Amino acid sequence: MSNNMKYNKTNLVRLMMASIEQESLNTEKSREYLSSQGLNPDSIVSDGLKRIKKIQLQINAERTRMEMGSIESFKLNAIKVVEDLLSNVNFSFTEFVKHEGLAMSFRNMESLGKEDIKDLLIKHFTLKLLEDQKKK
C-alpha cells in the first residue's frame, strides 16, 4: 500500500509540475499572476539575481580558502625540501641557480644572506610543487 501511495504522490507531483511549467512558460501570464497576488515581478527577479550573485561569491570565497589551505601544505613540503637541501654540506646556491635555470644576477646572489637564500628556495619549491600538482 505504501508503494502505491508513493506512486500516487509521484504522479501528483508530476501533474502539478507539468501544470506549473505550462503556466510559467508564458512570461506575460507569469507577470500577471504575480501582480495579481500583490507581488512585484521585477523585484522578485532582482532579489533572485542578488541571491545568485551572493551564492557565487560564497563559492568563490570557499574555493579560495581551499586553495590557500592547499598552498600552505605545499609550502610546508617546500620547507622540508629546502631544509634537507641546505643541510647538505656540498650545496652551492650558485650552482643550484644555474642548474634550475633561475633568472638572477650574480651581484644579487653575493649579497644574499642565509635566510634570504632559504626564503627564495622555499618560494621556488612551493611554486614548483604547485606546478607539478597541476600537471597531474
Question: Predicted confidence band at 21 (pLDDT cuts at 50, 70, 90)?
Answer: low
pLDDT at 79 over 50: yes
Q: Output helix, strand, coil percentages for the chain, rounded to the nearest 5.
A: 85, 0, 15
Average pLDDT over residues 84-98: 85
DSSP label of 26: S
Grid cell listed for 46? 532582482
Grid cell listed for 4? 502505491
Average pLDDT over residues 37-56: 91
Question: Predicted confidence band at 1 (pLDDT cuts at 50, 70, 90)?
Answer: very low
Burial group, residue 8, by CB count within 10 angstroms (0-12, 13-18, 19+): exposed
In terms of Cα–Cα distance, which of 112, 120, 113 is closest to 79? 120
Q: What is the pLDDT of residues 92-101, one digit of tens each?
A: 888 888 888 8
How far is residue 69's CA from residue 128's CA, in Å, rounded to a whole number? Answer: 17
Question: Predicted confidence band at 130 (pLDDT cuts at 50, 70, 90)?
Answer: confident
pLDDT at 59: 92
Our measurement of the distance from residue 30's CA atom to the centroid of its chain's CA atoms, rounded to an integer in Å, reads 37
Predicted structure pTM score: 0.48
